[in-house]
Structures are given as structure tokens and as C-alpha cells.
Amino acid sequence: MERKCEIGLLGLGVMGSSLAKNMIRNGVKTALYSVSERERNLFSAQKGQYHMFPELSKFIMGLEKPRRVFMMITAGEPVDIILDQLLSLMEAGDIIMDGGNSYYKDTERRCRICRERNIHYMGIGVSGGEKGALKGPCIMAGGSSEAWNEVKDILETIAAKQDGMPCCGYIASGGAGHYVKMVHNGIEYALLELIAEAYQYLRVVKNTDIEEICRIFKKWNEGSLNSYLMEISIRVLEKKEKDGTFLIDHILDVAEQKGTGKWTVTESVERGVYTPSIYEAQAARIFSGKKEEREKGKRKLVFHSLAFPEVTPDELGKALLMACVIAYSQGFELISKTSADEKWGIDLSSLVAIWKNGCIIRSRLLNEIEKVEYSENRALILSEIFEQYGDLEGSLRKMTVSAVAHGLPVPGFTSSLNYYDYYRSERMPMNFIQALRDCFGSHTYMREDKEGCFHTDWEQ
Ligand code: 6PG
């Protein structure tokens, strides 16, 4: 009898089919299934050792035990629909993995449903886009630790490698894998926004042409700013239309989002973690949709420029580097807080090691960040490693003031500076807030010199 398949890949869209090709290339005996006949037919042109099944039940029957099913389907309702069908076909001890960008609370709910049937459920963050899925993604696994031992070998085989180590690991129980993937995306939003603002500063304030911006970005990419996002920024800027014009100049200045950025912001608010760069990055995308109003505003709203010097490309690069460190700092703070709240015990240094290749936010900076000795809830910005970046503060401040003086909104940079300055704020005007709250609402206030809650009759 023919040997059954080691793993079943369910969903053959862009990401699913790339992951499937990756598994097959790596010699993993893979069963394939998609609800879409078109996707099944499209994939069937592929060469290699795999088995395509026309029905879900046959797909499940084609797997060796414990059965391992890796879903790569659209997050949300489709996952619940398929999960329901899988549960009627699978047995105790089997393993279901969800590799999409699912909301971590949905993953926790699905873990509970599966546990009741003694089926293992894992929420798996997969980063790297289509190419990453094909060549080696970054894999952040969460959920059943027992199941992890059963799927580890396959996932490590298909993952990206850094210094010979797979960029793949078990994060923690429940929805932890999807949680860190969500924050990864939050950081991704902030980094994208910062790079775009640097581009805009060069174009608008310094009137730099695209060829020159490319040269500047290339120089940055050779140094501490080296990253995947900088690499693709150069590729994007260089792309030309058939008529020789730059494609970037024809792309609408409106950006959309699928949800992970917004979830990160909501989580930050609920957990009480200050992540202004991530908030501003997703807010900028929302505001970009007001295209008509922006055009009207340009004509109607007065603007008086202030005399403030422009920054040099070198200073701009330093400001960008500092703001990038600050963006990572915010993401790590959020993960650290949630890990403590949920008793996940996430090892941030191991997470950084996983992020060093395959994922969208991979960068040279992570080599430095990896050296940080994390303690619970301590911000990266307060660790010794940050001392080497402290010198960049002047450039960040100068760039921000320069942009403001020239009327260019750079919320990514401004919020990074706010984050930095908040951490320097030995005193905040919260004494005043406390007093006002007590004055209008008798909310009471705390004092510096005595323990307890106090109320004052402010009209006496
Ligand atoms: C990744 C990406 C990937 C996707 C984002 C885009 O790590 O491979 O983050 O998951 O590109 O979800 O999100 P938006 O559409 O919200 O920008």
C-alpha cells in the first residue's frame, strides 16, 4: 500500500500554493486540497511528489496519523467553516494548524473547541509574503505544545534559515503565535510609514529627484539601515513604465489595510501600552482615503512656513534609524506586556532570532536588538544597547522640526520623538489632570507627600 502523506496543505491560493511548493521541494510528502476547483486545477500543472485530493474527506484519509492539516485560507469566517468540517473528519490526537493572519482571540476560541475533542490546534504566524512562503518564510507557532513536537521537523525544514538556524519556533500556548505575528505586522506598518515619510521629506522639502533618492536609499541600505524593506524600497523606486517615467509617480497616494495594524493598536490601548508609531502608521492609511478633502484643504487652509534648515540625507538616515529602533521598541513592549498578562513567558531574544530572516521586518538592526537582555516590561529604549543609538537623537529632533516648519506631516517621526521624550519626562503634567478631574468630578487625587486618595473643595 502506498505510504500516506506526512502533512495536508489546505487552501491553494497565493500563500497556500507557495507553501505547498516549498514543502514538496523539501521532500515532504504532501497532501493537497482546496475547496476551489480552479485552484486545484491550477496547481495540478506542478511537477513533484504530492497528492491532490478532490474531496476533503479523502484528503483527510490520505494522511498518516496523527494527521497534520495546515490551513492556509482567508482569516475570519472561512476558518470556522473549514474547522467545523475538519472536526467531523478528524480523530483524537490529530493536529490542525492555521497559518493565516487570524485574530488571536479567534485562535484561542478554536483551541478551546478542539481541546474538547482532544484535537490539537495551533495558530501559526507565517511571514514573508508569497516569495517567503515559497523560498522560506518566518514561522511563529503557538498553541498546543504537544502538537509542536509532531510538526516541528516539517516546519523547520520549510522555514527560512539564518546562520544555519531555522527562523521558526514555538512562541507559547493559545493564540501566542498569531499574537506575535500581529505585532510583527504592527511594526511592519510603522517601518513602512517611516520609510515613506523619509521619501516624502526628500521629495517635497528637499526637492530631490527619484534617481537621487535611490542613491541615498542604497547608501543607507549598505549601513545600519540595511533591511528587507529598504531593499524593496529601492526596487520600487527604480521601477519604470514603458514610457520611461517612474511607476511610483503614477500610483495613487491612498493606502489600505487588512486589519492586523488596527488590531495591534486596539490591543495596545486595551493593554495600556504606548505604541504611537504603530497608531500613526495605521491612522495615516485611514486619512489617506480623504483624497478629495485633502485637495480641498490644500487650497483652503493657510500655511506659514518657518525658517528652519533642511536636514542632510545623512541626518535623515540617522533620524530614520532612531525611529526604526523606537518602532521595534514599541512592538516588544506590547508583546512583553501581553506575555506577562497571559502568562505566556515569551522569550523575546528567541523571537528576535526567529525574525532575523524570512519575515518582512528582518533587518540588520535585529542583530543588535538580539543582544538585549530583556526583563519584563522594560522598554528596549531603556536597555544598554540603546545607548549607541542615543547619539541619533539630535538628527531625529532636527528632522522632525524641519518637516513641521515646512508644513510636511511626518507622524511616524513625530510620534517616535514623542515616545523618546516621554521616556525622558521625569515630570508630566498629570498633577494638573488629577486636580482638574477632582475639581469637576470629585475623582480624588494622589499626592507626592502622603499615601491615599484626597479630595479638595476647589470652590472654597
Ligand atoms: C507578512 C505580511 C503579510 C501581509 C500583511 C499586509 O508578514 O508576510 O505582514 O502578512 O503582507 O498582512 O497587511 P496589510 O494589508 O494590512 O497592509
pLDDT tens column, 192-240: 999 999 999 999 999 999 999 999 999 999 999 999 999 999 999 999 9
Q: Which domain holds residue 28?
A: 7-174
- Are residue 202 and residue 313 in the same domain, yes or no? yes
Sheet of 50-52: strand order equals 50-52, 30-33, 7-10, 68-71, 95-98, 120-127, 138-143, 168-172
Burial of 218 (0-12, 13-18, 19+ CB in 10 A): middle
- Are residue 48 and residue 187 in the same domain, yes or no? no
Residue having the nearest C-alpha atom to atom 9 of ligand 1? 185
* Cα of 323 from ligand 1 centre, angstroms: 21
Query: Counting atoms of ligand 1 from 1, which one is nearest the CA of 128?
Result: 8
- Are residue 366 and residue 460 in the same domain, yes or no? no
pLDDT per position as a tens digit, 10-21: 999 999 999 999
Residue having the nearest C-alpha atom to atom 1 of ligand 1? 127
- Whole-number pLDDT of residue 1: 52
**Over residues 430-446, mean pLDDT:** 98
User: Annotated catalytic, 188?
Assistant: yes
- Whole-number pLDDT of residue 337: 95
Q: For a pocket test of ligand 1, which of 101, 134, 182 has the largest count of ligand atoms closer than 8 A to its C-beta?
A: 101
- Are residue 157 and residue 258 in the same domain, yes or no? no
Cβ contact 413:194 at 8 Å = yes
pLDDT per position as a tens digit, 29-58: 999 999 999 999 999 877 888 999 999 999
Who lines ligand 1 at CB under 6 A?
101, 127-129, 185, 188, 257-258, 260-261, 359-360
Please count the CA atoms within 13 angstroms of the CA of 128 that sit on its side-chain side.
Answer: 30
Instruction: Write down which residue in 123, 140, 174 finishes a domain.
Output: 174
Instruction: Write down which residue in 131, 147, 174 finishes a domain.
Output: 174
User: Annotated catalytic, 206?
Assistant: no
Tell me the CATH number at 459: 1.20.5.320
Whether the bond into 66 is cis, omega within 30 of 0: yes
In this structure, what are the phi and psi dihedrals at residue 125, rounded to the nearest 5 degrees?
A: -80, 125
Query: Could you tell me if residue 1 is inside a domain?
Result: no
Residue 78 reports pLDDT greater than 70: yes
Give the N- to C-terminal CA distance of the chain in Å, as an integer: 93
Residue 402 reports pLDDT greater than 80: yes
- Whole-number pLDDT of residue 377: 60
- Whole-number pLDDT of residue 3: 83
- Whole-number pLDDT of residue 387: 87
Mean pLDDT, all residues of the chain: 96
Tell me which residue has cell 532612531.
322
- Are residue 391 and residue 418 in the same domain, yes or no? yes
Q: d(Cα 407, Cα 306) in Å, to the nearest integer?
A: 9
pLDDT per position as a tens digit, 93-146: 999 999 999 999 999 999 999 999 999 999 999 999 999 999 999 999 999 999
